[in-house]
């Protein structure tokens, strides 16, 4: 069934329900609450997706080796900005 046929069939069902007195009519308060709830859920989904896709940066850290050589080594440590290893 193509989208146009589906739309026509749904419209017939809605009209029939209203003729029998069983169709739902939204009040202004119900419509407002539904729109607010949809907006809150949409924002939460976007926030969760953004947090899940966040990448922890790998920051090079200068460390002092135990043998006190002139050249300190560089260690790749995820998420840490400064730390000295002794």
Q: In this predicted model, what pLDDT tens digit does every residue of 19-45 receive, in sequence order?
A: 888 888 889 999 999 888 888 888 888
Average pLDDT along the chain: 76
pLDDT at 64: 58
- Residue spans per domain, the chain: 25-54, 57-86
Question: Given 3-state DSSP classes, what are the helix, strand and coil percentages for the chain, each rounded to the nearest 5?
Answer: 50, 15, 35
pTM recorded for the entire structure: 0.35
Helix residue ranges, H only, the chain: 3-19, 28-52
């Amino acid at each position: 069934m193509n989208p146009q046929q589906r739309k026509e069939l749904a419209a017939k069902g809605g009209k029939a329900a209203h003729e029998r007195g069983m169709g739902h009519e939204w009040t202004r308060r119900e419509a407002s609450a539904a729109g607010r709830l949809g907006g809150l859920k949409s924002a939460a989904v976007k926030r969760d997706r953004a947090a899940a896709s966040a990448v922890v940066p790998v920051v090079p850290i200068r460390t002092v080796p135990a043998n006190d050589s002139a050249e300190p080594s560089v260690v790749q440590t995820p998420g840490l900005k400064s730390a000295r290893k002794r």
